[in-house]
Amino acid sequence: MKTFNTAGPTRLDKHYSIPPLSRWDTDEIHRLIAEERYFVLHAPRQTGKTSCLLALMEQLNAEADYTALYVNLEPAQAVRGNLEAGMRIILDALVASADEYLADRLLPEIAREIIVTHAAGSLLREGLRRWCRRLERPLVLLLDEVDSLVGDTLISLLRQIRAGYPDRPDAFPQTVLLCGVRDVRDYRIHNGDNQVITGGSAFNIKSKSLRLGNFSHGDVATLYAQHTEETGQVFETGVIEYVFAQTGGQPWLVNALGYEACFEMKTGRDRSRPISLTTMADAREKLIERRDTHLDQLTDKLREPRVHRIISELLSGTIEPGATLPSEDDQLYVQDLGLIHTRPQVEIANPIYREIIPRALTWIAQTRIPQETAWYVGKDGRLDFPKLLNGFQQFFRENGEIWIERFDYKEAGPQLLMQAFLQRIVNSGGRIDREYGLGRRRTDLLVQWPLDESQGFRGPVQRVVIELKILHKSLEATIAEGLSQTADYMDRVGTDEGYLIVFDRTPEVPWEEKIFVRQERYGEHRIGVWGI
């Protein structure tokens, strides 16, 4: 039986799949190869790069105009900048791939000869030179995980390819495709003096950079339709739209949600029951809570200074006065990682990432905040939000500065601490949806709390809007702007319960002036305002 693929290259006999070569412009690929171009394919992790390269190799070898070979260079990452060990591992990987995919017996002989006669810094070039001279057809070399290499190993690889470039196609590959998460412009290579050399300085023959995109809405529908065809299990109206909206078409997320809903969850394994929106929303929550390897790798990147500069602005919603703007390289780097997209504006790449980032940044705080859900649940089962916000107000007054200093993302400290406090409360069954981004000057939170434990989100649900704002002009002007934004969000999500939290980060203002609670009316809405 086929299933959704969440690990490794897609296998057509085992996985639901979108034809790999349909995801990029094959006419352009063939043109670049025909013109003897060297180029780059890059995309975030687990978007299908390796599946595309393997499919391209198979197609080219079937057409018989070229000899195509896929080689994964990741094993050489383990030796870091050890040039001699790194280049021998790369040569071994080349030999092993030629044996696996081409049943080649020539390259091992060449490798044995040059290992004893050539220095490490010329092994790849010499091996390819001798092999290409004896091949019947021009070689197309597809190198995967290139940007996993480090230091001298990476420099030597790029320089040997550049050195052999003039000899193509008779004595060097006609085309070399470098594949990885990052574009070659962003390969960061440290030399012996701890200076950074960019990839372009060691590889200036690249003619083009191609980026593998996410699934389209049609791709998601096609992938899920294969499950229906395989099992007879259908997806209710709106599920495909929900999956596409939540994932932005990110291939691993699309497959992981499908696998969670249809294979991991007990209700989903009953093929006679359709997959509902509620089931898929539950699958989303389980995926976020579990933080599988893909999500864990992304959140680990949040510690990098280059990532911090971009994400901190998005979390806080504003650029601090006097702050230095991130560089173009930093923003493109974070985009290459798949954490953000820049069109039509800079924002977190999809709602699932938007949810998991603040959770990951505040996990320690969530486990240590001494608040219990039961303190704030009334006899009617509803969360008592005025009581909850009073509790947070006092907690922030006593502990806010201490916690904010512990956060890596201090710029968004108040917003993160509030979210940690809320997450702690709703973990026993509720959900928080978050909206934030550069230029918003606010964070929108929608808390959803089931009122009937037996029905969960299938039954009645309390929906509460909480708007977080940093005081950035006068208090009255900030509140007026915040009331308008809170009311607008309440209308969009269809609730009549909303609260505005205004954080005053001015050091010289005493707590007695910062702390207040008042009720305001905006149109038809009554909105509680808490000053902190």
Q: What pLDDT digit, counting tens, does each position of 31-73 carry?
A: 999 999 999 999 998 999 999 999 999 999 999 999 999 999 9
* 3-class DSSP state of 249: coil
Residue 257's pLDDT is 98
**Contact by Cβ (8 Å): 268, 276:** no
Which amino acid is residue 29, in one-letter code? I
Q: CATH 3.40.50.300: does it fit domain 20-211?
A: yes
Residue range 122-146, pLDDT digits in tens: 999 999 999 999 999 999 999 999 9
- Joined together, the tokens standing for residue 478 give 């900030």
Strands, DSSP E only, in 335-470?
340-341, 347-348, 431-435, 443-450, 461-470
Q: How far apart are CA 104 and CA 169, in angstroms?
A: 19
Domain definitions of the chain by residue range? 20-211, 217-290, 358-531
* pLDDT, tens digit only, all 532 positions of the chain: 899 999 989 999 999 999 999 999 999 999 999 999 999 999 998 999 999 999 999 999 999 999 999 999 999 999 988 999 999 999 999 999 999 999 999 999 999 999 999 999 999 999 999 999 999 999 999 999 999 998 899 999 999 999 999 999 999 999 999 999 988 766 755 444 444 455 555 577 888 889 999 999 999 999 999 999 999 999 999 999 999 999 999 999 999 999 999 999 999 999 999 999 999 999 999 999 888 878 888 888 999 998 998 999 999 887 665 567 778 888 988 999 999 998 888 999 999 999 999 999 998 888 888 878 888 999 999 999 999 999 999 999 998 988 998 888 988 999 999 999 999 898 878 999 999 988 788 999 999 999 998 888 889 999 999 999 999 889 999 999 999 999 999 999 999 999 999 999 998 899 999 999 999 999 999 999 999 9
* 3-class DSSP state of 253: helix
The whole-model pTM stands at 0.89
Residue 201's pLDDT is 53
Residue 427's pLDDT is 83
Note the helical H segments in 301-371.
305-316, 328-336, 351-361, 363-368
In sequence order, the 6+-apart residues with CB closer than 8 A to the CB of 380 are: 451
Q: Cα-flanking dihedrals φ and ψ of residue 38, to 5°?
A: -105, 130
DSSP state of 236: -
* 3-class DSSP state of 525: strand
β-partners of residue 208 are 39
The DSSP-derived string for 27-68 is HHHHHHHHTT-EEEEE--TTSSHHHHHHHHHHHHHHHTSSEE
* 3-class DSSP state of 523: coil
**Contact by Cβ (8 Å): 223, 215:** yes
